[in-house]
Structure 1
Amino acid sequence: MNDTPGWASPGSAPSDGQETSVPRPAGPVDESGPASKWSKEQPPPGQWSAPTGPHTNPVPPPPPAPGWGGGQPRGGWGRPPAAAKPGVIPLRPLGVGEILDGAVSAMRAHWRTVLGISITVSVISEICGILVERFLMPEPPEVDPNATPSEALSQSVDSLQSSLLVMGPVLLITVIVTLFTTALLTVVISRSVLGHPVTLSDAWREARPRLPQLLGLTLLLPLVSAAIMTVGILPGLLLGDGPGIALAVLGGLAACGVILWLMIRFALASPALMLERQGVIPSLRRSAKLVQGAWWRTFGIVALTLLLTLLVSMIIAVPFSVIAFAVDGSGFSDLFAGTSPDFGWPFLIITGIGSVIASSITYPISAGVYVLLYVDQRIRREALDLELARAAGVPGYGSAPPGNTSSRS
């Protein structure tokens, strides 16, 4: 097990076909152990009975001790012991609410570090986005409502090219933001599971060696998605006309289904890459192994997280947008006139502040859910809770087994 931040090496995971070093019931002992003190001449089983006779009175069984049976009080012997909770989650299989609560608790427990990361990244991202929107975004092409079908098709192609040119810098900024927030917040949340303190310098020191691999993973997944979408719609585009358009739509829908399946299957690749120090391809295989048999559960948690973060972003962004429209009256009037609005600096700055506040809250929650979902799957499949309890120093779990205290790649 890796001592910082305390994750078992996947090489010894049961899901990989190997035994993990976790406590197990003691097996039979040889004649040198305690069992050898029993007499070898034991009575045959099943031949003992209660003494009977004319002077023997049956003895009623004693009443059940308190805490046993159906009338046991809360916290009696019948209840399983509570799971250890050295950090933000109990070390046992987690429910959906516990995963979401753990993500919020991690943000609250390390709010200085978490907000320092998310606010810094959000401010830089928003400034770059505003500059791109203000100076690099081309003017949208004019659309003639009376154009012939061929002219309308040409205008649509020009509009698509313009949108792609705008999306290039935006996607690059998104990749960089995702890279740094995923790397740093994964380290912070993994420490919060163990109840260990973490500073921004600690998170950067642990995350920095993994940035090249994480960049490769962050770029690979969108490229794979784009390739699948191209394969889905290209035959229809080449065919053209009505049947071609129908074929392109069907191919696009099929490609969306395949992309969704792959994105959920590889949803845990980033935590595996960061915490197990895996490469890009091994981390994808690791995620697929952990998600196997739990695709729908993983999809439900990811979809719920996206919905919650979207709602939080809208709740925060809508008031700032209303204020921005009120301040920048020209853009508001252009919007109602049906022309392309020309928003000024006041509008961009006010909406940018709202975006920074929303991102500072949603980034940690989203990253926390993915890390805790990864932890939950490993607890369910590999008894990672025992390893984490040892790493956190929980009494009764002993120390890390020999050979697992050093970092493994």
Structure 2
Amino acid sequence: MLRPVSHPLSELRPLALGEIIDRSATFWRKHLKTLFLLSLGFNLVTYIVTKAMQLAMQRSLKVFQEAAVGRGDPATVLGEYGRFFGVLTGTLVVTFWLYWMSTLVVSRYVVPTLLGETVSPVEGLRRGLNRLGTLTGAFVLSLLWAVGANLLMALPGGLLTGAGAGLLALSDGPGGRLAGGVVMGVGLILVLLGLAGGILWYLLRFSLLAPVVAMEDLSAMSAFRRSGLLLSGRVEPGFLGRVTVRAMILVTVVSVILLAVSLLSGLPALIVQFSYRNPLDPASVAANPVPQTLLVPAELLQVVGQAVFSPLALVFYALFYLDMRVRREGLDLERRLEAR
């Protein structure tokens, strides 16, 4: 059984951004053990998938190393590049899906607890299994939407890069080649900025998707639309009244926390790797493999550290979802009427 709820029903009301952050941190501290256990399994599976990808890429690194010194067969190198990006894309998709599933499970525990209900952590896992198809369908829709948004945002830079490449190919003089290089460089910068903007947009647009699937009995398409509606428009006057602005601030806070945790918990693994090789040098990575008996324990420390702190970000999203329902739908008033 769980301990009493951190914030009674009488405190359910629209929250300022600082209050969302403060209450999220308070809830995370009081329920640290439960949140850790809920997240640990997903973090371990994510680590196993990522580790399998790293081991599978060792052959690719050798092929790329041979190509760098002019000894690789072009057809083999091209095929290896295709295999590399295929495995990398598949790994990213699986790890993102695991992240959404983890958010669903944690949200199913956090939101009812904040509403004063007694809920078992197993309920979150049960809900995740029951809503597996819905979450997967909504996740696929979000990926398709994200691909379209990223292509659209990267299109201006892509066109400029192509124009610069054309200038380089058609120019004979140094002036033309310089102009082509500058145009191509500016285009590449715009492509990177567009992709970064697309990723930020994805994190904002679908930040409430998993909580919606966790708490509401909707189809994949309905959950997809519902998460967008909760994040649209404004909830109060002023710049901070726009929901996208509020979400952006929370996503930035969450991202900074996760980045700091990732860096700190990843230090043991980095120390082990740098003691054998330079992880940023593909030739060094291929020539000086780190013994897995040393690397795996260090990486597992990182997994445990992330399982401790990453639930804080998931609590942010769950509480933000609850706040949007209070502000937009009067959930606080509805719950008080039901309690009479």
TM over 0.5, shorter chain = yes
**Cα–Cα, structure 1 residues 112 and 144, in superposed 2: closer, same or farther, change >3 Å?**
closer
2:297 is equivalent to residue 350 of structure 1: yes
Q: How far apart, CA to CA, are the structure 1 residues paired with 2:114 and 2:60?
A: 49
| Aligned residue runs from structure 1 range 96-107, under 5 A | 96-107=17-28
Residue number in structure 2 paired with 1:6: none
Q: How far apart, CA to CA, are the structure 2 residues paired with 1:132 and 1:319?
A: 20
Give how far 1:373 is off: 0.7
Q: How far apart, CA to CA, are the structure 1 residues paired with 2:127 and 2:211?
A: 13
Give how far 1:206 is off: 2.9
Give how far 1:301 is off: 1.0
Residue number in structure 2 paired with 1:26: none
Give how far 1:306 is off: 0.8
2:105 is equivalent to residue 190 of structure 1: no
**Cα–Cα, structure 1 residues 338 and 207, in superposed 2: closer, same or farther, change >3 Å?**
closer
2:44 to 123, 134, 137: 123
Residue number in structure 2 paired with 1:260: 200
AA aligned opposite 2:306: S
Give how far 1:143 is off: 7.5
| Aligned residue runs from structure 1 range 89-168, under 5 A | 90-135=11-56, 137-140=58-61, 141-142=64-65, 161=82, 163-168=84-89
Residue number in structure 2 paired with 1:374: 321
Aligned residues of 1:189 and 1:368 also touching (Cα < 8 A): yes
Q: What secondary structure does 2:118 align onto?
A: coil
**Cα–Cα, structure 1 residues 386 and 212, in superposed 2: closer, same or farther, change >3 Å?**
same
The alignment's TM-score, normalised by the length of structure 2, stands at 0.73
**Cα–Cα, structure 1 residues 205 and 268, in superposed 2: closer, same or farther, change >3 Å?**
same
AA aligned opposite 1:173: V
2:334 to 371, 387, 406: 387
Q: How far apart, CA to CA, are the structure 2 residues paired with 1:202 and 1:237?
A: 51
Residue number in structure 1 paired with 2:284: 339
**Cα–Cα, structure 1 residues 166 and 385, in superposed 2: closer, same or farther, change >3 Å?**
same
2:140 is equivalent to residue 219 of structure 1: yes
Residue number in structure 2 paired with 1:278: 218
Q: How far apart, CA to CA, are the structure 2 residues paired with 1:159 and 1:296?
A: 42
2:8 is equivalent to residue 86 of structure 1: yes
Residue number in structure 2 paired with 1:18: none
AA aligned opposite 1:339: S
Gaps of 5+ in 2: 1-5, 169-179, 235-242
Residue number in structure 2 paired with 1:250: 190
Percent sequence identity over aligned pairs: 22
Residue number in structure 1 paired with 2:92: 171
Give how far 1:187 is off: 0.4
Deviation string for 1:286-341 (max 9, x for gaps)?
2332222221121011111111121122222214532x348xx4x23787997234
Residue number in structure 2 paired with 1:5: none
Q: How far apart, CA to CA, are the structure 2 residues paired with 1:181 and 1:159?
A: 33
AA aligned opposite 2:251: V
Q: How far apart, CA to CA, are the structure 1 residues paired with 2:36 and 2:195?
A: 37
Give how far 1:154 is off: 10
Deviation string for 1:162-202 (max 9, x for gaps)?
64134134224303422431221110111221233332322
**Cα–Cα, structure 1 residues 157 and 96, in superposed 2: closer, same or farther, change >3 Å?**
farther
**Cα–Cα, structure 1 residues 380 and 179, in superposed 2: closer, same or farther, change >3 Å?**
closer
The alignment's TM-score, normalised by the length of structure 1, stands at 0.62
Q: What secondary structure does 1:196 align onto?
A: coil
Q: What secondary structure does 1:185 align onto?
A: helix
Gaps of 5+ in 1: 1-83, 399-409
Aligned residues of 2:150 and 2:198 also touching (Cα < 8 A): no
2:249 is equivalent to residue 300 of structure 1: yes
Residue number in structure 2 paired with 1:290: 230
Aligned residues of 1:117 and 1:200 also touching (Cα < 8 A): yes
2:260 to 311, 317, 321: 311
Q: What secondary structure does 1:198 align onto?
A: coil
Q: What secondary structure does 1:339 align onto?
A: helix
Q: What secondary structure does 1:93 align onto?
A: coil
Q: Kindly indicate which of the two structures has a greater share of residues assigned to helix.
A: 2
2:113 is equivalent to residue 200 of structure 1: no
Q: How far apart, CA to CA, are the structure 1 residues paired with 2:151 and 2:279?
A: 36
Instruction: Give the structure with higher Rg (CA).
Output: 1
Residue number in structure 2 paired with 1:361: 308
Q: How far apart, CA to CA, are the structure 2 residues paired with 1:209 and 1:363?
A: 24
AA aligned opposite 2:334: E
Give how far 1:390 is off: 5.0
Residue number in structure 2 paired with 1:67: none
Give how far 1:252 is off: 5.3
Give how far 1:115 is off: 2.0
